[in-house]
Amino acid sequence: MTEPRPGSTLPLLTRTRLLEVMAEHDLAPHRTLGQNFVIDHNTIRKIVRLAGVQPDDVVVEVGPGLGSLTLGLLEAGASVRAVEIDARLVPAMQAITAGAAEVTVADALEVDWSKVTRGEPCTLVANLPYNVATPVVLRILDEAPEIGRLVVMVQKEVAERLAATPGSKAYGIPSVKVAYWATARMVGTIGSEVFHPRPKVTSALVEIIRRPQPVDGSDPTALFPLVKAGFGQRRKTLRRSLSSLVDDEAFVAAGVSPSARAEELDVVAWCRLAAAVRNKAESALS
């Protein structure tokens, strides 16, 4: 016997209902905004389950679209705060969810996250628009400390980059930045058949859990420019790619081989290198 669910009794969105609502409100998915709506109930509930959503949890959703995932979050008993850039969709989304979700019409790359979280612990659960998924995740990690956990659906290649480890082909600047703030892992793949319209790519789910403190307490304003420079010429050794920023003394102090390449260093090594550069600069000023 199926146990009663703790939250909303609103029915999840079907493809038929989605098309009806779009017709009623004269809507069409906006391709440039990466709008692909999930219409498979098993997928919706899988995402909610993997996110560990409990009754009364505060969940932030970016890009709710017409509310297909929102309904699943409400079904689990969450309090949903959605950020949607496309004002056209909001009346239809509010009708579908019976106004049960709070919606802020804003760009997730510009919104004031403190006004969304309001200082409360939150989880981010979202089917992120593919074209802005990486910058949205990185901005949230940087600017919204109240969001301690993220479960996001993104293009599979993006998921691989966000969760990549040193030495892998996908490892790059986003991987290091995510690892500075959090731990990340891929927790599943999603086929294109669960979306309307159907995308041409495979999607994946990524779980990102924020660290209590960033790695080594390093200053990101010193760390990230160094990482960017290193990966800007990733086929070169660090001695060459960082020649204008790091000298041999700093490499020795950091315990990093100048003959290594950017993709070989984990976030801890990058932090040591940034600290060595900073310490040398401070010593020169004293």
Please, which pLDDT band fits residue 218 given cuts at 50, 70 and 90? confident
Burial 234-253 (b: 16+ CB within 10 A, else e): eeebbeebbeeebbeebbeb
Q: Is residue 35 part of a domain?
A: yes
pTM of the shown model: 0.93
Q: Are residues 84 and 201 in the same domain?
A: yes
242 vs 279, higher pLDDT: 242
Q: Is residue 9 part of a domain?
A: no
Q: Are residues 121 and 254 in the same domain?
A: no
Q: What is the mean pLDDT of the chain?
A: 94
Q: Which domain holds residue 119?
A: 15-212
Q: Are residues 175 and 227 in the same domain?
A: no
- Of 177, 194, 212, which one is at a domain's C-terminal end? 212
Q: Are residues 266 and 140 in the same domain?
A: no
| Model pLDDT for residues 173-197, shown as the tens digit of each residue | 999 999 999 999 999 999 999 999 9
Sheet holding 58-62, edge to edge: 102-105, 79-84, 58-62, 122-127, 147-155, 203-210, 182-190
Residue 1: predicted pLDDT: 31
Q: Are residues 140 and 245 in the same domain?
A: no
Residue 6: predicted pLDDT: 57
Task: Please determine, for residue 10, whether its predicted confidence score (pLDDT) is greater than 70.
Answer: yes
Q: Are residues 245 and 202 in the same domain?
A: no
CATH number assigned to the domain comprising residue 241: 1.10.8.100
Q: Are residues 228 and 189 in the same domain?
A: no
Residue 286: predicted pLDDT: 64
Q: Are residues 143 and 273 in the same domain?
A: no
